[in-house]
Amino acid sequence: MARIAVVAGDGIGPEVVAQARKVLDAVLPGVQATEYDLGAARWHRTAEVLPDSVLTELAQHDAILLGAVGDPTVPPGVLERGLLLKLRFAFDQYVNLRPSRLWPGVPGPLATVKPGEVDLVVVREGTEGLYAGAGGTLHRDTPAEVATEESLNTRHGVERVIRDAFARAGRRERRKVTLVHKTNVLTHAGSLWSRTFEAVAAEHPDVSTEYQHVDAAAMFLVTQPQRYDVVVTDNLFGDILTDIAAAVTGGIGLAASGCINPEGTYPSMFEPVHGSAPDIAGQGVADPVAAVLSAALLLDQLGHADAATRVSAAVATELANRAPGVPVRTAEVGDRLAALAAG
């Protein structure tokens, strides 16, 4: 039976995770969940971000379900570097999977795109690039200060995520992969990404390919998001592009993500793209759909594709039936989704 570590976190995190757990229980009875208290609240209370003992315990689970961590009083970087990125790197979660669909019933911001037309997935590299933490500061707080950030890219890291993107594309209907980078300016990393992409593409004659600079891709995600199927890109570009993709498909309230270690050597982690939203926390009005869709990604990763499909179908029904302008009630949505998914 699947053992899930649950990090509910801060703000709306616990509220939305509670709904994701209802749905998990409904489709996979007997799933074992262990709660871990991590995030801003824990840090304020104990000054601990992620004790080694907790990291060791987390490693013994099949997957991690995370709500959201953070609040505005924690200095930037503390929880990001110390918890979220620490987990992605420690557990070698090199595939950061971010699907975006414009679900029927969801009012997207684009006048030109119809529901159902957008169905793309960004495969974002998760363990390299500018997220490596390779940077420094010299002459701090003087007029001579210089600060650096280094993007580190290895053939190893680039190839494995590109392979994952092609494998996913091969299982989809349109079988198309778009590489996004900035090869005309970042010529070293860009060349590594391009050469690796071409080498892997040559092994997949059934998958069509294209390349776009990140600025062009950011634009086309707004003007023609329909054109994308699978997008593979580096860590920072993926961070930006997936928020655009979320925006054009109804907002981060619906955006799910998985930080995946495809080999299963370490647990994969699933979390909504949204943050802890302290402004609406505790009111029971956060939309749990992103958390529930993240649970669907979790199910899929653990081999429960049928259960994952039932959860997605439940979300589709829920969204199609939402009356425009009526505020969401977190727990009610969770109850409905659990009932729908249980079938």
Ligand X SMILES: CC(C)[C@H](C(=O)O)[C@@H](O)C(=O)O
Q: Which of 6, 26, 40, 85 binds a copy of itself (CB under 8 A)?
A: 85
Report how far residue 265's alpha carbon sits from residue 268's, in angstroms, rounded to the nearest whole number: 9
Contact 329, 285 (CB under 8 A): yes
Minimum separation from the CB atom of position 252 to ligand X (A): 9
Mark the segment that binds a copy of itself (CB under 8 A) among 10-18, 23-31, 176-184, 309-317: 176-184
Question: Closest approach of Cβ 339 to ligand X, in Å?
Answer: 30
Active site residue 243: yes
For residue 285 the two structure tokens come to: 């009005």
**Six-digit token pair at 196?**
């690796």
Asked if 122 interacts with ligand X (CB under 6 A), we say no
Catalytic residue, candidates 182, 228, 229, 234: 182
Map the footprint of ligand X across residues 214-273, applying CB under 6 A: 215, 239, 273
Report the C-alpha gap between 184 and 176 in whole angstroms: 23
Q: Does residue 168 contact residue 120 with C-beta atoms inside 8 Å?
A: no
Out of 36, 43, 131, 166, point to the residue binding a copy of itself (CB under 8 A): 131
Q: Does residue 269 contact residue 87 with C-beta atoms inside 8 Å?
A: yes
Of the candidates 145, 198, 306, 332, which one interacts with a copy of itself according to CB under 8 A?
145
Please give the backbone phi and psi of residue 49, each rounded to the nearest 5 degrees, phi first: -100, -55
- 99 three-state secondary structure: strand
Among residues 25, 80, 117, 210, which is the contact residue for ligand X, using CB under 6 A? 80
C-alpha span between 16 and 107 (Å, rounded): 21
Written as six digits, the tokens of 200 are: 């892997």
Gap between the Cα atoms of 153 and 193, Å rounded: 9
Per the residue annotation, which of 86, 243, 266, 335 is the catalytic one? 243
d(CA 261, CA 267) in angstroms, rounded, equals: 7
Interface with a copy of itself (CB under 8 A), residue from 80, 117, 210, 335 = 80
Q: How many residues bind a copy of itself (CB under 8 A)?
A: 66
Contact segment (CB under 6 A) with ligand X among 1-9, 78-86, 102-110, 113-121 equals 78-86
Determine whether 94 is an active site residue: no
Contacts with a copy of itself by CB under 8 A lie at 76-77, 80-81, 85, 107-112, 130-131, 135-137, 139, 141-156, 182-192, 194-195, 214-216, 218-220, 222-223, 236, 239-244, 246-248, 251-252
